Amino acid sequence: MGCHDKRKTNTRIIREGIIMKKWVLGIVTGVVLLLLSINAYAIDVGFGAEVDDGDMELDLSIDWSREVGPWQTNIEFDFVTEENDGEEEENLTYFNLKQNYEKTDKMYFLGLVQVDNDKYRSKYKTRTVIGAGFGYKVYRSERIKVSNEYSVAYLESDSSEAIIRNSTWITYKIADKLSATNKFLYESGNDSYTRNEFNLDYQLADNITVGISWRMIDEGFQDRDTKSINFGIKF
């Protein structure tokens, strides 16, 4: 490929990246406005960034939850983009909707829909999971909360298959204004899928936090991790 063709290709990639970011930002803005219009909710909006020797990574996350009687709805949205010397190397969008029904103080049923799109995933781009199962509140105290969930799901990617999911959520209040959260997910299938997300947050004010996060995803044929410094707002 000649220099002229290479410049045209790079220009096209950058232009497509800008269009994609504007499209994602528009959807996120619409989703936030819709969620804010619903009464009796809790929402966390986080912004993360990392700049290192020509690399720039941006991370946007939204975590929305609402409880009505025994029903609890949780929506997670993540968008991660990374550039190296002006060229995009990562573009990941993640959406997770989970509906819980509390059967007892300890046990609950759940249904879920998860969609993630990775522009640079080597085997396929979009991964969709629809499933149902149950969860158990393993431990609860003022400082520590542990939950474990099991579910059977249908996976649509480059093929269709049934999978088993196991996830563990741990929240630890280290001090009055310092807390740590870890979310772990494992899925069995033709390609195993492991996702782990760790957050360490410090409360600057009643509804403002600053912290660090580390996310690892291993899909068997491909793995990646992102680290960022986050600024969060709670509504």
pLDDT tens sequence across 154-195: 999 988 999 999 999 999 999 999 999 999 999 998 888 999
Taken in order 120, 123, 126, 132, the sign of the CA dihedral is negative
Backbone angles phi, psi at 12, to 5 degrees: -65, -45
Q: Where are the alpha helices (DSSP H) in the chain?
A: 3-36
So what's the pLDDT on residue 19? 44
Two structure tokens written together for 208: 């403002």
Q: How many CB atoms lie within 10 A of CB 87?
A: 11
Which of the four CATH numbers 1.10.3720.10, 2.40.160.40, 3.10.20.30, 3.40.1130.10 does domain 3-234 have? 2.40.160.40
Average pLDDT of 147-159? 94
Cα angle, residue 17 at apex, residues 11 and 20 outer, rounded to 5°: 140
Per-residue pLDDT band at 51 (split at 50, 70, 90): low
DSSP 119: T
Nearest in space to 197 (alpha carbons), one of 219, 234, 227, 231: 227
The type of residue at 79 is F
Lookup: tokens for 17: 């990246």
Q: Provide the pLDDT for residue 52.
A: 61
Dist CA 201 CA 178 (whole Å): 6
Query: CA–CA separation, 118 vs 217, rounded Å?
Result: 12
Residue type, position 89, single letter: E
The answer for 220, left when phi > 0, alpha when psi is -120 to 50, beta otherwise, is left
pLDDT of 153 strictly over 50: yes
Q: Is 207 helix (H, G, I), strand (E, B) or coil?
A: coil
Checking DSSP bridges between strand 193-205 and strand 208-218, what pairing results, if any? antiparallel
What is the value of pTM for the model shown? 0.78
Q: Which residue has the tokens 């409360």?
A: 203
DSSP for 17-66, written as a single string: HHHHHHHHHHHHHHHHHHHHTSSS-EEEEEEEEEEETTEEEEEEEEEEEE
Across the chain, mean pLDDT equals: 83
Q: Name the pLDDT band for 140 (thresholds 50, 70, 90).
A: very high
